[in-house]
């Protein structure tokens, strides 16, 4: 496979670059910053897209580039997720080398807890979710630019190198400031980063008739219980997680809403609490039929991730002292 990866400087893009290179594929990134094995360009600059396709001549394109709201309002108002998709569709239509495009989308094309009746039944969460839903519509309307196409929807992605938005939860666990809400399991379809990269590789290499036109969720299987996942991290950090009754947690969420409106740091808000308490489990049978079941267990993923966080923050000595 000869693959071009847009958004290659991101968490998923870097992991996919490493995996494809390690497995002998010819791979180039495409990002605003450029760099080693990465072509400089922007999905909002059609000329740069066409130059990258003509110069590298990939047969597979992974469109991972996206504007998100994990660090606040996006600079370009999610244009990469809509205008950028349109620009890439037009470019691949005229690129003779390209035979397949993987158009990465998001679970947030539907709010947590909503069970869509079809692939095109949308109830997006926020501006980001709405922009990803529009990107999906553009791909379908153009039949993927006349190439083999597949739309994978990502879920919450975790693992070494994860964004601070999600790593912050692990920091709370390590500091003893995280808590469970109620005592029932909270089932989640999460994606461990190395499993996700492996699944994306499979979408690029599987026979075209097995992936063309699919919309599918990429996640670990079976789903995880958020309590068990959090407790596993707590055990690594030498902590135990307390459980709050739901009424108390809801009161704290309302207090967090007020703090957020005042511009103060709010570790818990009603929206975050809702996401914690809502089960969201997706059917992973379609990706498992293409890729096979994940080979990295939750426990192994937790170990690798906790070790990475300790190393990144120099916390290992404190953890060892606490264990003694």
Q: And the tokens for 106?
A: 């998001």
Torsion angles phi and psi, residue 68, rounded to 5: -115, 175
CA angle (86 as vertex; 85, 88 as ends), nearest 5: 65
Helices 164-175 and 298-313 cross at an angle (nearest 10°) of 90
Residue 195 · residue 161 · CB < 8 Å = no
Torsion angles phi and psi, residue 228, rounded to 5: -65, -40
Beta-carbon contacts of residue 115 (< 8 Å; ≥ 6 apart): none
Is 128 among the residues known to form the active site?
A: yes
Report which of 49, 134, 137, 126 is spatially closest to residue 93, judged by C-alpha positions. 49
Catalytic hit among 122, 128, 178, 192: 128
Residue 122 · residue 110 · CB < 8 Å = yes
Residues in the chain: 324
Distance between CA atoms of residues 149 and 288, nearest Å: 18
Report which of 25, 87, 84, 98 is spatially closest to residue 55, judged by C-alpha positions. 98
SS3 category, 149: strand
Paired with 61 in beta bridges are: 4, 101
* Active-site annotation, residues: 128
């Amino acid at each position: 496979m000869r693959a071009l990866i847009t958004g290659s400087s991101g968490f998923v893009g870097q992991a996919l670059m490493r995996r494809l290179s390690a497995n002998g594929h010819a791979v180039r990134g495409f990002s605003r910053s450029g760099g080693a094995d990465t072509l400089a360009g922007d999905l909002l600059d059609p000329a740069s897209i066409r130059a990258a396709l003509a110069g590298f001549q990939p047969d597979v394109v992974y469109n991972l580039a996206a504007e998100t709201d994990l660090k606040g309002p996006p600079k370009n108002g999610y244009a990469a997720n809509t205008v950028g998709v349109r620009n890439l569709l037009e470019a691949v239509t005229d690129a003779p080398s390209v035979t397949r495009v993987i158009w990465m989308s998001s679970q947030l094309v539907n709010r947590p807890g909503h069970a869509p009746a079809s692939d095109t039944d949308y109830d997006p969460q926020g501006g980001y979710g709405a922009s990803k839903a529009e990107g999906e519509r553009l791909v379908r309307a153009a039949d993927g630019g006349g190439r083999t196409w597949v739309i994978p929807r990502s879920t919450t992605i975790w693992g070494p190198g994860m964004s601070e938005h999600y790593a912050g939860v692990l920091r709370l666990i390590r500091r003893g400031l995280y808590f469970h809400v109620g005592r029932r399991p909270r089932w989640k379809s999460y994606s461990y980063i190395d499993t996700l990269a492996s699944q994306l590789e499979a979408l690029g290499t599987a026979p075209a008739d097995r992936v063309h036109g699919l919309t599918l969720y990429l996640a670990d299987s079976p789903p995880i219980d958020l309590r068990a996942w959090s407790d596993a991290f707590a055990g690594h950090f030498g902590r135990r997680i307390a459980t709050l009754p739901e009424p108390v947690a809801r009161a704290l969420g309302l207090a967090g809403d007020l703090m957020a409106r005042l511009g103060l740091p709010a570790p818990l808000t009603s929206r975050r609490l809702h996401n914690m308490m809502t089960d969201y489990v997706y059917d992973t049978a379609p990706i498992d039929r293409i890729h096979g079941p994940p080979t990295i267990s939750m426990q192994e993923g937790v170990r690798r991730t906790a070790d990475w966080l300790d190393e990144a923050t120099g916390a290992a000595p404190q953890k060892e002292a606490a264990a003694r």
